[in-house]
Structure 1
Amino acid sequence: MSRLNLGYGTNGLTDLRLDDALALLADLGYDGVGLTLDHMHLDPLAADLAARTARLARRLDRLGLQVTVETGGRYVLDSRRKHAPTLLDEDEDARGMRVRLLIRALRVAADLGAHAVHCFSGVTPAETDPDTAWKRLADTLEPVLDVAEETGVPLAIEPEPGHLLGDLAGFHRLRADLGDPPPLGLTLDIGHCQCLEPLPPADCVRDAAPWLKHVQIEDMRRGVHEHLPFGEGEIDFPPVLAALAGTGYQGLTVVELPRHSHAGPELAAHSLHFLRNGGTG
């Protein structure tokens, strides 16, 4: 079985400067980092993004950290609406803002040597019927997938509870709607599997293995979409970690605790100890 490459998400370290967050993770012994593009770390809208990205690439190389680029910044595009606009927005220009963010993320990821770029569909607008929403999602993603193919960086879409693409079945629908394009991969969030998938998380891992490009991990309870530190939810982690290792997945498995930044350094240390000990603490 493969050894898992473990990372920690910068969206759970927002109280730290990026340089300090990266040094912390390297010192603790993490293999990499899930880098959320946002104003407090690497701002995707900054005029000097290229120079900042080049500096970051050198920093990651010196620290020996791998990276996956994540695009879940809450207010990165709209300072008043969380995660807005999305790929499903009624307004074409608004959808274009999200498309440009993802394309920029793919180019940043290529410059950083990242495993993948993470994204999500967004919530279906109230005035949009489901079939229209699915067609809009596929159409809007096409130019993004063209850039993913050009850069050689997979686009890994995440099933997100409450979104149009909310579960693994939704991922497979999108994949079929797009004609199964090679650049389209999957971000599998282990907590989300516990929250709403019909199969246990370990079975979800095995079923999703052919499309895995990014993995997020945290504890969670059934039916409650709340990211929890390990040991505070209901997930049986040893079978999950064994399933991940058994797939041969070589990307990052990133701890995802975006609402626990206040305790980020302590939770980063605890999480690594928990996962390196096979999910038993």
Structure 2
Amino acid sequence: MTAHEPSALPLRFGYGTNGLTDLRLDDALGLLADLGYDGVGLTLDHMHLDPLAPDLAARTRHVARRLDELGLGVTVETGARYVLDPRRKHGPSLLDPDPDDRARRVGLLVRAVRVAADLGAHAVHCFSGTVPDATDEDTAWKRLTDAFEPVLDAASEAGVPLAVEPEPGHLLATLADFHHLRHALGDPEPLGLTLDIGHCQCLEPLAPADCVREAAPWLRHVQIEDMRRGVHEHLPFGDGEIDFPPVLAALAATGYQGLTVVELPRHSHAGPRFAAHSLPYLRRAARLAAERTPGTPPVPAPGDPSATPEGSSTP
């Protein structure tokens, strides 16, 4: 097993299981622990703790024991593409015209909250969905706020924050949209934010580091990958345009205590290689951030310096 290296900044890095879909969940968790990750972003899907299959409670207890044995933290993610509908990506959503379909998505999120509580997860991630054809925005926002109420009730009862993600192309696409939802719901305490650093680069008016600072009071979960301006494509580190040391410095300065999870859902074909590449890259970026931050003690470089935040080092 790879020893955990000292952290240059008080950040905890994880890797998303939606980028390891060709591995059994037990194997994926063992791989991440061996590589030195602090935790995992666990997407509930048919191959990884299927939320709709029988004996969910027993299977969840098994995963909880496995996480504990490996010393991994966890956040629960709900972005499985076809877990509810084999024909519609991310369908049904919280915005669907059919109330029964919306209720199916609400039911999945409530179940995810319960799984998260049983796993000791630090948050449950979710998103709005795209606006259906022939649906005006006011109607879409009304459906979204109504749908969130029972999920927030479940999150409050379970003591697990709900972390909604601004997603390019969705009704809730930006930080401004998150605040619109928050105000519409009366600023409920369980409602927090999933900040995807790549999405900030893709479409936010502020630089990613500034997005982190603006989002700090509501930050409950962080996803991270490289990306280019105006193109919603999750890229391995070094293949996009993001300058990561300032982002990590800003994130550390917020006091955020959750996981920062690598999000490469279209790279499962070589998931173990990308997982092995990503953590040294992030650690190198964190060391550079610490060196640029007054008062932060230097941290020795790891034994493998092959991945650096300057230029591409994609495996």
Alignment TM class, shorter chain as reference: over 0.9
Query: One-letter code of the match for 1:79?
Result: P
Which of 215, 236, 240 is the equivalent residue of 1:233? 240
Q: Does 1:159 align with 2:166?
A: yes
Report what 1:118 is aligned to: 125
Which of 66, 71, 79 is the equivalent residue of 1:59? 66
Secondary structure in 1 aligned to 2:279?
A: helix
Report what 1:131 is aligned to: 138
Report what 1:17 is aligned to: 24
Percent identity between the two aligned chains: 80
Report what 1:28 is aligned to: 35
Report what 1:83 is aligned to: 90
Q: Does 1:44 align with 2:14?
A: no
Is the CA contact (8 Å cut-off) linking 1:5 and 1:250 kept in structure 2? yes
- State the 1:132 CA deviation: 1.1
> 2-side partners of 1:14 and 1:38: how far apart?
9
Alignment of 1:232-271 (within 5 A): 232-271=239-278
- State the 1:56 CA deviation: 0.5
Q: Does 1:193 align with 2:200?
A: yes
Which of 153, 168, 172 is the equivalent residue of 2:175? 168
Is there any run of 5+ residues in structure 2 with no aligned partner, and where? 1-7, 287-307, 310-315
> 2-side partners of 1:30 and 1:159: how far apart?
25
Normalising by structure 1, report the TM-score.
0.99
Secondary structure in 2 aligned to 1:109?
A: helix
Is the CA contact (8 Å cut-off) linking 1:194 and 1:222 kept in structure 2? yes
Which of 110, 115, 123 is the equivalent residue of 1:108? 115
Is the CA contact (8 Å cut-off) linking 2:9 and 2:249 kept in structure 1? no
Is there any run of 5+ residues in structure 1 with no aligned partner, and where? none
Is the CA contact (8 Å cut-off) linking 2:11 and 2:252 kept in structure 1? yes
Secondary structure in 2 aligned to 1:8?
A: strand
How many residue pairs were aligned?
Answer: 281
Is the CA contact (8 Å cut-off) linking 1:2 and 1:249 kept in structure 2? no
> 2-side partners of 1:140 and 1:21: how far apart?
33
Query: One-letter code of the match for 1:59?
Result: R
- CA offsets 1:218-257 (integer angstroms, 9 cap, x no match): 0000000000000000001110011011111000000000
Which of 222, 235, 238 is the equivalent residue of 1:215? 222
Query: One-letter code of the match for 2:235?
Result: L
Query: One-letter code of the match for 1:31?
Result: D
Query: One-letter code of the match for 1:107?
Result: R
Report what 1:179 is aligned to: 186
Is the CA contact (8 Å cut-off) linking 1:8 and 1:30 kept in structure 2? yes
Is the CA contact (8 Å cut-off) linking 1:34 and 1:68 kept in structure 2? yes
- State the 1:105 CA deviation: 0.1
- CA offsets 1:149-199 (integer angstroms, 9 cap, x no match): 000001100000000000000000000000000000000000000000000
Is the CA contact (8 Å cut-off) linking 2:82 and 2:91 kept in structure 1? yes
- CA offsets 1:96-116 (integer angstroms, 9 cap, x no match): 000000000000000000000
> 2-side partners of 1:39 and 1:263: how far apart?
20
> 2-side partners of 1:108 and 1:170: how far apart?
27
> 2-side partners of 1:86 and 1:140: how far apart?
10
Query: One-letter code of the match for 1:29?
Result: G
Larger Rg: 2
- State the 1:2 CA deviation: 5.0
> 2-side partners of 1:27 and 1:205: how far apart?
29
CA root-mean-square deviation? 0.9
Normalising by structure 2, report the TM-score.
0.88
- CA offsets 1:199-218 (integer angstroms, 9 cap, x no match): 00000000000000000000
Structure 1 residue ranges (4+ consecutive) displaced by more than 6 angstroms after TM superposition: none
